[in-house]
Homo-oligomer: A and B are copies of this chain.
Amino acid sequence: MIKIVAKAQVKADMVEAYKAAAKELVEKSREEEGNVFYALNVSTADPCCLTFIESWKDQAAIDFHNATEHFTRIIPQLNAMCEGAQQVDFYTEVEY
């Protein structure tokens, strides 16, 4: 299982627009066969820090996701509302 934590600092006047633009991305990503969970989250410490927390079955699922129409169309719209680049961390789950 692969996790992604993608943290963005959204421009203060763009936070509601960011959440609205992310809605379709969240919904369509959850429908992908390789998705385990996918959500947008707001930092309790900073309402302009918006973070996608995602889980995918394997790298093939992420490769498929990154090539989808909804990803390639909506992600640039979201990035345009941010201060600087997203900080994206990739993880593999420790299986016990």
Docked-complex contact B89 and A42, CB < 8 angstroms: no
Q: For the complex, is A72 an interface residue (Cβ under 8 Å from B)?
A: no
Docked-complex contact A53 and B94, CB < 8 angstroms: no
* CB of A29, distance to nearest CB on chain B (Å): 12
Nearest chain B residue, comparing its CB with the CB of A43: B91
Protomer copies: 2
Alpha-carbon gap, A94 to B39, bound state (A):
7
* A37-B37, A89-B45 known; A22 vs B53 contact (CB < 8 Å): no
Q: For the complex, is A40 an interface residue (Cβ under 8 Å from B)?
A: yes
Interface size on A, residues (CB 8 A): 27
**18 interchain pairs (CB within 8 A)?**
A1-B39, A3-B41, A5-B5, A5-B51, A19-B94, A22-B94, A37-B37, A39-B93, A39-B94, A40-B94, A41-B93, A42-B91, A43-B89, A44-B90, A44-B91, A45-B89, A50-B94, A51-B91
